[in-house]
Structure 1
């Protein structure tokens, strides 16, 4: 039975989920949530919260990017693991997944929503939050290839988070370990594929999509 993923390709959290599908080589169908496809009109009834991505397999609905990746881990145990079997290693991966979503993606999105007028516009607050998170993550990545052991759920979170964060408030030049980590993530075939699929919407990024930092 095929999995259907309700998404928009330019969404960071949709890219996070798609990256896991591509890493695990799990086929899926998509429903575009930009009004261009007739099949997406049922999304409001399916998930009244209205946030995406959402995955559907048969009668099972799975929401949030992390939840979808956790589901794929359980549903396809023989595919490439993104969460370690060891409970302590798994806890570390999940902890860094939350770090990337809460302390990189969240302040980055506040900058965007402020620009759009959806929230109070307070760039100094959110740039300072990103600066703090950047420094912590740079220290973490010193001498590491991936953020928590082998490539994992946390790195799926990191790829789109750091793409858009650097667009919104550039990573300082002195944070060499973090900049190198971002470059590795963008070169990862699974993320390069998701990013290519998002390119048609780059011009719509409210803060401007800079050249040469993708």
Structure 2
């Protein structure tokens, strides 16, 4: 039995849902509402002390970290459609993309999401004092909470944020270069590389940042994302679990923030 602890807006959880759907695996969901702080519930912390989703439980065994979960699914269910190529060299190409997501793109996505959308909702509802904000830190710790506080207060002017957006844009250009050679990121077949990157393009789209690839800027990326969205697995993996009010908040806040991102990137 496969059980997934997840949340609608988590890019990492969406990645695992997408992988599960592509492999045709049935699973039971446990929705952890991050916006209500349910990740800090003692029962969930006993499963994952880091207080993050996703978490996969397979026949009672706990597997953490989204990329590790996807690799586990590939190895535990070899009879299902494969997301990793057979040859060692081709698998290496896939893992270079998944490694880049884990080490660079995901942290950049967190900053971008906070600065372009979440900060507006927090400020609208009243951010309070930093001491109040610090109380909700959970396992994050003071340093991580201080960084998020600056994202909330300063937005795109917060230290390092502009660099993270440029890094994000740099990966779109790396994708363009790869997709000029083939329809999919790691070669001629759809693989885990495409699964891994899809949530991060979708996040930009939800934040109304389509201009980072549309209107002829990165045509291969635009075509790739259209192919991703056309897959039967995309809609249920990405939008079935997204609260409608969160979708609208991200759309409205992203549209409000896009002109500044556009100027930053010189688009």
SS in 2 for 1:21: helix
d(CA) in 1 for partners of 2:231, 2:64: 25
Structure 1, unmatched stretches of 5+, are: none
- Which one of the candidate residues 156, 160, 174 is aligned to 2:199? 160
Return closer, same or farther for 1:45/1:160 CA change in 2, 3 Å cut-off: same
1:176 aligns with 2:219: yes
SS in 2 for 1:30: strand
In structure 2, the partner of 1:89 is 90
Return closer, same or farther for 1:50/1:168 CA change in 2, 3 Å cut-off: farther
Paired residues of 1:105 and 1:165 also in contact (CA < 8 A) = no
d(CA) in 1 for partners of 2:149, 2:177: 31
Two-structure CA RMSD over aligned residues (Å): 2.5
d(CA) in 2 for partners of 1:113, 1:209: 10
In structure 2, the partner of 1:203 is 248
Q: CA deviation at 1:63?
A: 0.9
Q: CA deviation at 1:207?
A: 7.0
Q: CA deviation at 1:192?
A: 1.9
Q: Which moved more, 1:6-15 or 1:121-130?
A: 121-130
Query: What TM-score comes out, normalization by structure 2 length?
Result: 0.70
Q: CA deviation at 1:130?
A: 2.0
Q: CA deviation at 1:25?
A: 0.9
**As a proportion of its length, which structure holds more helix?**
2
Q: CA deviation at 1:101?
A: 4.0
Residues 74-126 of structure 1: CA deviation (Å, up to 9, x unaligned):
11110000112211111111111223444433322212234537154344222
Paired residues of 2:178 and 2:186 also in contact (CA < 8 A) = no
Q: Which moved more, 1:14-23 or 1:94-103?
A: 94-103
In structure 1, the partner of 2:7 is 8
d(CA) in 1 for partners of 2:249, 2:31: 16
Q: CA deviation at 1:158?
A: 1.2
Return closer, same or farther for 1:114/1:23 CA change in 2, 3 Å cut-off: same
Return closer, same or farther for 1:164/1:82 CA change in 2, 3 Å cut-off: same
Residues 115-154 of structure 1: CA deviation (Å, up to 9, x unaligned):
5371543442222222222222111111421111311111
In structure 2, the partner of 1:56 is 57
d(CA) in 2 for partners of 1:53, 1:209: 25
- Which one of the candidate residues 144, 168, 174 is aligned to 1:136? 174
Structure 2, unmatched stretches of 5+, are: 120-146, 151-157, 256-267
Aligned residues: 207
In structure 2, the partner of 1:118 is 148
Query: What TM-score comes out, normalization by structure 1 length?
Result: 0.85
